[in-house]
Chain A
Amino acid sequence: MNPVDKRRREFLGQATAIAGAMIAPGVFLYDYAHAKAPGEPASGKVRWGMLIDTTKCESGCRDCVDACNKENGLPGTTRPTDSQWIRKVELKDLRSGKAISAPVMCQHCAEPPCVDVCPTGASFKREDGIVLVDRHTCIGCRYCVMACPYKARSFVHEATTGQKPDVPRGKGCVESCTLCVHKVDRGGTPSCVEACAAAGHHAIVFGDLNDPESAISKRVRAVATTQLRADLRTDNGVRYQGL
């Protein structure tokens, strides 16, 4: 071995030892979600998601939709120009007669088309995977409405009244499911999930997809789940079981 190689080996050995020591005491290369302290920004270590079990979702039940409307101050009417953050979709396979009912809302894609097309940067994805509209920047062009494969975005056509303090909404902006971000930031769960559980269906699981110990991750590992239009490779945060 020539002296240069020897010195290089010694240096690399020492560098590895130092790096090892620094990582060792209680510091992990991968860290999982903790309850967010007030004043702390959303963490990129978290990926919020939902798992909807269509086998438990009852046909005709609208508890999640009603809870969403109530929580977010939506009128709940379904004229063509009204906002709908969740739609109950009923599917039936004509050959077998198998019927499926499931709520469809913003799928909180990892690669959201609505963000790609937004000309002002109003449509954005938060660090923790929640896709939102910044209404301060939204000019109401509705490109995102066109781009969304899930028909998740709505445009507010008329002046609004009775907004909730945590959910500002007004005429001329696009909006969609926020995954109840105002509750999630305070350690809560989305209203649709709570309403579904309160009604005894337990068809929706909410949690951190990045945390292997979370209920949602365990379910996703254990059972076959699908993302809607997985062929588009938008990598949805909302997954469906039993489709």
Chain B
Amino acid sequence: MTAAGTLRAALAAMLLLAVGAAGVIARAAAPALDAARSGPCVEDPLVMRRSHMDFLKHDRDDTVRRGIRGVKHSLAACVDCHASKSDGRVLGSDRHFCQGCHRYAAVKLDCFDCHASSARPAATAAAAPVSGAAR
């Protein structure tokens, strides 16, 4: 191996190390989320993490255009379950479910420019005995 070849190999090794180290350092801790209710989601959490936006987009057209109410993937139902125990919202701080995870994933969240980010009163009332029983 020539001197230039050795130098190139050494540089490549250093670069690999640097990338590896940066990868370890840059990995942020998973967000600590404060959600009102535990229990099964409408889909497996791993599926939801990856595909919730597609589910919502599909069912929103059914509701808005065709008038089908009570769809499986409804944004209002998401909010009802995932709203914070303290203030009943999914936005507000990085502990809030939607905002916290979207900040972690660095994905813009614009659903709540129009949609209500608070749980419906009926859902809050239904959630209260559950949280009471857990204590």
Interfacial residues, chain A to chain B (CB-CB below 8 A): 36, 38-42, 124, 126-128, 130, 132, 134-136, 159-160, 163-166, 168-171, 173, 181-182, 185-186
Shortest C-beta distance, B122 to chain A (Å), equals 10
- A136 contacts which chain B residues (CB < 8 A)? 60-61, 64
Q: Which residues 92-126 of B sit at the A interface, judged by CB distance below 8 A?
A: 113-116, 118, 120
B8 in contact (CB, < 8 A)? no
- B70 contacts which chain A residues (CB < 8 A)? 38-39
- A163 contacts which chain B residues (CB < 8 A)? 114-116
A67 CA / B69 CA spacing, docked (Å): 23
A42 touches B67 (CB 8 A): yes
- B61 contacts which chain A residues (CB < 8 A)? 136
How many residues of chain B have a CB within 8 Å of chain A?
Answer: 19
Interface string of B52-64 (1 = CB under 8 A from A): 0000000011101
B66 touches A42 (CB 8 A): yes
A41 touches B114 (CB 8 A): no
B81 in contact (CB, < 8 A)? no
A148 CA / B23 CA spacing, docked (Å): 57
Q: Is the contact region of chain A dominated by helix, strand, or loop, or is it mixed?
A: loop
- A132 contacts which chain B residues (CB < 8 A)? 64
Shortest C-beta distance, B70 to chain A (Å), equals 4
9 contacts between A and B (CB under 8 A): A36-B67, A39-B68, A42-B67, A126-B65, A126-B67, A160-B114, A168-B114, A170-B113, A171-B113
Q: Name the residue on B nearest A181 (C-beta).
A: B67
Question: Told that A41-B66, A134-B65 touch, could you supply 5 new A-B pairs with CB distance under 8 A?
Answer: A38-B70, A136-B64, A165-B76, A168-B115, A185-B67
A166 CA / B79 CA spacing, docked (Å): 12
- A36 contacts which chain B residues (CB < 8 A)? 67
A41 touches B68 (CB 8 A): yes
B69 touches A135 (CB 8 A): no
Shortest C-beta distance, A67 to chain B (Å), equals 18
B76 touches A173 (CB 8 A): no
A167 CA / B71 CA spacing, docked (Å): 16
- A181 contacts which chain B residues (CB < 8 A)? 67
- A130 contacts which chain B residues (CB < 8 A)? 67
- A159 contacts which chain B residues (CB < 8 A)? 113
Given A127-B66, A136-B60, decide whether A173 and B114 contact each other with a Cβ distance below 8 A: yes
A134 CA / B65 CA spacing, docked (Å): 8
Point out the residue from A38, A42, A160, A165 that lies within 8 Å of B79, measured CB to CB.
A165
A165 touches B114 (CB 8 A): no
